[in-house]
Amino acid sequence: MTTFTVWKYDDPARAQEAEDILRSAAGEGLVTIHDSTTVSWAQGDERPETHHRRQDAGRGAGWGAAWGFLFDLLFFAPLLGAAAGAAIGGSAGALNGVGIRKEDLERIRESITPGSSALFAVTDGADLDRLVERVHGLGGHLVTTNLTDEERATLLGAVD
């Protein structure tokens, strides 16, 4: 099952470390990464920076557009406050079909703040037990996922 997850870290550089671990695990066959990107928001910066390492050309192009849409909606929308909430609500229908609900978008937007970072990943076939061993200790907080309740509990139990 293809899974979308967002992990938040209380350090602007930590999501990059998590992505490096995820890519290493993919190299060992523990997970298939369809695409991933990080967002880092240094303290004092007006906006976060996004970092997208391209996957192979065929797959990366489609996800690049999806990430652009998502991050524009979450972080770079010119309107703030209630208008940003309305923009999220209006765009949620387009993302709901891939398992990203309006509530997920709002939770992501509220969670990623100056001084933090996040790893956004679209993966498949993860060996959760072995992946959890790798990321344990990074201090990540699972913001949203479309994992089953049992899979989510496994992940949360390992990083809490």
Highest mean pLDDT among 18-22, 82-86, 133-137, 148-152: 18-22
- Which strand (E) or helix (H) includes residue 48? none
**What digits encode the pLDDT tens for the residues 66-98?**
666 676 667 665 444 444 455 545 554 555 555
Range of the domain at 105: 2-159
> For the chain, how many structural domains are there in total?
1
pLDDT of residue 44: 95
